[in-house]
């Protein structure tokens, strides 16, 4: 009898661990699906002849966690729907219908009632000579700031802009035409160099958030993580001057506490992403300052520093913009 129980126990333990792992993966996938505030869209629904995307938390859990989704309690599902603002965003998605590109950005800025105090519009270079530029910015909000910058630059340059963004954002029907999907993992990662090259070789201006993630708070100061050097390398290669932009703002204390706890506990997936939609709604009806710096010639980035050091230097320039007259 003792041997029989000994044989069964590992099987039960493995089953339990497997179920917990599947559920963890399901929740992790849900977190990824809600990135960038409205990246919680899951399935396209036909509405007359318009393509409308709807959020369906139940469907996401079922798809990602499989049969284990039934173990997710109803109150957890209800909380998830509230925290990602499923009803509000679905209503907005239906309202904008098949609106795309810069008009979609304009509509979203109005919906969020973002009051933008813009400094340095005169620093936006004239592109009538055919030259194209790389626009780099800090990323304090993790979503609304990107929408606002696209709104500003997209209108100024007649829609000739492209974001280098997480490939999940291609699910956003309104934003997709302006996006170049970037995914560092999976099958699409093999095409990453080609996609980046195509974006920088195109006739569009490129908008990048070189930190890759929303800003974090450290010792009471909200600032970006170290910037990736890609924008330096590609701007040199394609002879694009770099325009630094500082966007003001910050998320709630809760958001930064979650980020810090995830870091301390060694949680791999970015749990804070789950709250970005709620942060976006918390930041509605607020005023934000945008400071646009003078273009930095690509020839500045010589061999006196390594590309990563030049990226850090541009980052420092961005954070100095609000202090300049």
Instruction: Please give, one letter per residue, the 3-state secondary structure of the chain.
Output: CHHHHHHHHHHHHHHHHHHHHHHHHHHHHHHHHCCCCCCCEEEEEEECCEEEEEECHHHHHHHHHHHHHHHCCHHHHHHHHHHCCHHHHHHHHHHHCCCCCHHHHHHHHHHHCCEEEEECHHHCCCCCCCCCCEEEECCCCCCHHHHHHHHHHHHHCCCCEEEEEEHHHHHCCCCHHHEEEECCCCHHHHHHHHHHHHHHHCCCEEEECCCCCCCEEECCEEECCCCCCHHHHHHHHCCCCEEEEEECCCCCHHHHHHHHHHHHHCCCCCHHHHHHHHHHHHCCCCEEEEEECCCECHHHCCCCCCHHHHHHHHHHHHHHHHHCC
pLDDT at residue 186 in the model: 53
226 and 315 co-located in one domain: yes
Query: Which one of 70-79, 114-123, 189-198, 255-264 scores highest in mean pLDDT?
Result: 114-123
Q: Which of 52, 75, 93 is the last residue of a domain?
A: 93
State the total domains in the chain.
2
**Average confidence (pLDDT) over 193-206:** 93
CB count in 10 Å sphere of residue 11 = 9
Confirm whether 256 is domain-assigned.
yes
CATH number at residue 282: 3.40.1130.10
What is the span of the domain harbouring residue 111? 99-323
325 falls in which pLDDT band (50, 70, 90)? confident
Q: Which of 73, 93, 113 is the last residue of a domain?
A: 93
> Percentage of residues in the chain with pLDDT exceeding 90?
64
50-59, 199-208, 256-265, 305-314: which range is least confident on average?
Answer: 50-59
108 and 159 co-located in one domain: yes
14 falls in which pLDDT band (50, 70, 90)? very low
88 falls in which pLDDT band (50, 70, 90)? very high
250 and 113 co-located in one domain: yes
170 and 140 co-located in one domain: yes
Q: Are 248 and 322 in contact (CB under 8 A)?
A: yes
225 and 269 co-located in one domain: yes
pLDDT at residue 183 in the model: 66
**Average confidence (pLDDT) over 178-199:** 76
Q: Are 236 and 305 in contact (CB under 8 A)?
A: no
87 and 109 co-located in one domain: no
**Average confidence (pLDDT) over 195-202:** 93
**Average confidence (pLDDT) over 210-223:** 94
pLDDT in tens, 109-161: 999 999 999 999 999 999 999 999 999 999 999 999 999 999 999 999 999 99
Residue 248 has pLDDT above 90, yes or no: yes
pLDDT in tens, 267-310: 877 888 889 999 999 999 999 999 999 999 999 999 999 999 99
**Average confidence (pLDDT) over 153-170:** 89
Residue 6 has pLDDT above 70, yes or no: no
pLDDT in tens, 32-84: 444 433 334 434 433 334 556 788 999 888 887 888 888 999 999 999 999 99
**Average confidence (pLDDT) over 21-40:** 45
Cα 284 to Cα 262: distance, rounded to the nearest angstrom: 26
Cα 124 to Cα 64: distance, rounded to the nearest angstrom: 44
Confirm whether 3 is domain-assigned.
no
Query: What's the mean per-residue pLDDT of the chain?
Result: 85
* 290's tokens: 């945008």
Confirm whether 243 is domain-assigned.
yes
178 and 75 co-located in one domain: no
Which residue would you say has higher pLDDT here, 187 or 270?
A: 270
190 falls in which pLDDT band (50, 70, 90)? low
Could you give phi then psi for residue 218, rounded to 5 degrees?
-135, 125
pLDDT at residue 198 in the model: 92
């Amino acid at each position: 009898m003792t041997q029989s129980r000994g044989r069964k126990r590992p099987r039960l333990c493995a089953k339990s661990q497997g179920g917990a792992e599947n559920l963890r993966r399901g929740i992790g996938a849900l977190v990824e699906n809600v990135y960038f505030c409205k990246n919680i869209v899951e399935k396209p629904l036909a509405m007359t002849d318009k393509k409308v995307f709807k959020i369906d938390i139940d469907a996401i859990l079922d798809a990602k966690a499989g049969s284990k989704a039934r173990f997710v309690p109803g109150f957890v599902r209800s909380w998830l729907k509230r925290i990602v603002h499923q009803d509000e965003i679905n209503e907005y998605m239906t309202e904008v219908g098949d609106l795309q590109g810069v008009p979609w950005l304009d509509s979203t800025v109005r919906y969020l009632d973002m009051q933008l105090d813009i400094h340095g519009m005169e620093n936006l270079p004239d592109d009538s000579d055919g030259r194209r530029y790389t626009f780099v910015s800090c990323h304090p909000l993790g979503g609304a700031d990107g929408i606002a910058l696209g709104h500003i630059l997209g209108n100024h340059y007649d829609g000739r802009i492209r974001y280098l963004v997480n490939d999940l954002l291609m699910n956003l029907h309104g934003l997709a035409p302006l996006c170049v999907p970037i995914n560092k993992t999976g099958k699409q990662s093999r095409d990453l160099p080609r996609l980046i090259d195509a974006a920088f070789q195109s006739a569009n201006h490129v908008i990048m958030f070189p930190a890759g993630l929303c800003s974090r708070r450290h010792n009471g100061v909200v600032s970006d993580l170290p910037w990736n050097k890609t924008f330096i390398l590609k701007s040199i290669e394609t002879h694009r001057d770099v325009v630094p932009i500082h966007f003001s703002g910050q998320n709630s204390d809760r958001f930064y506490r979650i980020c810090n706890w995830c870091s301390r506990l060694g949680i791999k997936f970015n749990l804070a992403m789950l709250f970005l939609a709620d942060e976006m709604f918390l930041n509605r009806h607020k005023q934000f300052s945008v400071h646009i710096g003078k273009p930095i010639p690509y020839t500045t980035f010589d061999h006196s520093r390594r590309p990563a050091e030049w990226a850090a230097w541009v980052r420092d320039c961005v954070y100095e913009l609000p202090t300049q007259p």
